[in-house]
Structures are given as structure tokens and as C-alpha cells.
Structure 1
Amino acid sequence: MAISNSEGEIASKEGERKRKRKGEVRPSQSKWRLDSEQKTYSSKLLEALRCVRAGAPAEPSRTRAVREAANRALAMAARGQTRWSRAILSSRTLKLTAAKRRRAAASRLKRSGGASQEKKRSPAIQRKARVLGKLVPGCRQLSFPKLLEETSDYIAALEMQVRAMSALSEILSSIGSGSGAPPPA
């Protein structure tokens, strides 16, 4: 029994969809799970930490410098492809003054006119989205779907940062303790 061309195409597309759904991993999350990305970040972090070690003499400023170096290395590993990485690389604080906030809110109200998606959401969700936008660098003024996309990428990047820093701390602690045993892989 022969399958016609159009039936065969439909069956193959159906199979592709099922395979995509089964092994579906978001590109932003899978990107940060790669060993190559973690190695890239680790090398950038080591380079940044060497610069910090050579520079900042006082303890409080050194702590801040290490945090900033780790964030900048993470943003460099993202290659500026996301909004949060561009915000970190440009060193903008993205804090608007109260007057700018009022003007921005007034212009949004003028533009919206009718009932928008923002108005349909409950106030609790709007509040939580606003707080989330403040936590992710450069994401204060994003629409809700874009905010969630940026947040998921930022979380995946931070998880990778934690893995890399944990591995680095294990290596440094084994070197510092003088045990000749290599660190676990």
C-alpha cells in the first residue's frame, strides 16, 4: 500500500513535531548548559579576577569588584545577545528618576487608549512582574512575555555561573590545602 506524497509529508511533519516536543529544550537554557560556554565563562572570570586581585586594595571595594567582574564576565560570555547582558556591559544602572518615571507612565497611558494586556492582568501579577523586571538587569520596561524570556535566560546563565564558581572554588581549595589529589571532575 503506497502512501501519497502529501500524506507522507504530513506524517513526517507530525513525527518531527513529536520529536521536538519530547526533547524540547529552550535554546537559551541549553546554551548555558554546554561545557564550552562554561569554559568560556570560566576563562573570562579567571582573567577578570586576576585584574581585580592586582587592583583593589581595600576589602569592601574588592568584594564589589569581584561581584562586578563576575557579572561582566557572564555578560561577555552571553556576547551581548540578551538585554540583561547588554545592560551589564554598558554599565548602566537603569534607575530612572521619579520625574522620568512619571513622564514614562503618562506617555504609556496616552498611547494605550483601550484595554491592553497589562490592564487585563491582576494587580498581584503586575506587581510581581514589576519586581521581576527590577531584578533582571535592563528589563524594567519590557512586556510580560519578553520579561519572562529574558528572566529564563538570566536564570540559566546564573546557574552556569554558580557551577563554574563552585568548580573554581574546589580547585583553589584543593591547591590551598596542599593535597596532591586532583579535584573531582
Structure 2
Amino acid sequence: MEAKLGRQRWRSCRQKLSYTAELVRALRRVRGASGSSSLRKSSWEVREAADRALAALAGGRSRWGAAILARRRRHGRRRWPSAPLEMARKLKMLGRLVPGCSELPLSALLEETSDYIAALEMQVQAMKALARSISSVDASL
């Protein structure tokens, strides 16, 4: 039930508009700060700005959001004694993919993953809309 509520939260128009506004502000900061930096560095900065805007919108209510904002890198080992070896390997990889979730028990990992996926879906939609609006402005010039 919690995962369903998380998905609904990320699909609301209010959340999408808030994220888009925060993303635009973050991208402006990146553009102003990057100056003559390389393309590779600026693409990393755009990704970082998009993730931080998403985490700020989550407001620290999720583990992945807090991890993105803190950018803590933990390399602790987590064992899954009751899971088969292949499943344990996949769960460990999933824990690495979702920021801040490398040491969570299975149920919490799945809840955080579900919320993170819904947030990323909203992020992609907002970035597509932003790209469309930028390309339409460029085309009219």
C-alpha cells in the first residue's frame, strides 16, 4: 500500500510542476557555474543537479533522497543468509542502484526502490517536457 501511495505522490501535477521549477533553477546554476568545462563534466553536473532537485522535492522523507542530498558513499557489505546466492547478488546490486539503500532489509529495500522508480519516472517526464519546450523555442528563433 505504501508503494502505491508513493507512486501517486510522484504523479500529481503539483509535484511535477514543483520538480520542473526546481530542475530549471538547478540547471541555470550549472550553466552559470560550468563556464568552459568539458562536455563530460557538464553532463555529470546536469545529472547531479537533476538528482539533487528530485531529492530536495522528496524532502528527506525517503532514504534515497537523503542519500542523494548527503552524497554519502558507504561500501559496507550486506548478507542475505536466507536468499539463494543468485537472488542475494541481485538484491545487493539493487541496493547499490538505489542511493542510500545498500544496507536495508529486503522489505525496506523494495519499498524504497518502488518510491525511487516512481520519482525517476516523474523526473523523466519533466525533463522530456523541458526538452520539448527548449527545442520549440530554438526552432522559432
**Which is further off, 55-64 or 138-147?**
55-64
1:123 and 2:85 aligned: yes
Could you tell me how far apart the structure 2 residues matched to 1:158 and 1:128 are?
Answer: 20
Among residues 6, 12, 15, which one is paired with 1:37 in the alignment?
15
Q: CA RMSD in A?
A: 2.0
Could you tell me how far apart the structure 2 residues matched to 1:29 and 1:159 are?
Answer: 9
Change (3 A) 1:25 1:133: closer
Q: Which of 1 and 2 has greater Rg?
A: 1
Shift of 1:160: 0.2
1:169 and 2:138 aligned: no
Q: Which has the higher contact order (CA 8 A, sep 6+)?
A: 2
TM-score normalised by structure 1 residue count: 0.70
- DSSP 3-state at the match of 2:81: helix
Deviation per CA, 1:142-174, whole angstroms, max 9, x where unpaired? 000100000000000000000000000000000
Could you tell me how far apart the structure 2 residues matched to 1:140 and 1:25 are?
Answer: 19
Runs of 4+ in 1 over 6 A off after TM superposition: none
Number of residues of Structure 1 aligned to a counterpart in Structure 2: 139
Q: Which consecutive residues of structure 2, in runs of 5 or more, have no partner in the other structure?
A: none
Which residue identity is paired with 2:103? Q
Deviation per CA, 1:40-83, whole angstroms, max 9, x where unpaired? 10000000000011111212221111110000000011111000
**Overall identity of the aligned pairs, in %:** 43
Which residue identity is paired with 1:152? S
Report if the CA contact (8 A) 2:3-2:114 is conserved.
no
Could you tell me how far apart the structure 2 residues matched to 1:28 and 1:41 are?
Answer: 15
Q: Which consecutive residues of structure 1, in runs of 5 or more, have no partner in the other structure?
A: 1-20, 109-117, 180-185
1:82 and 2:48 aligned: no
Report the counterpart of residue 46 of structure 1 in structure 2. Answer: 24
1:148 and 2:126 aligned: no
TM-score normalised by structure 2 residue count: 0.91
Could you tell me how far apart the structure 2 residues matched to 1:121 and 1:34 are?
Answer: 37
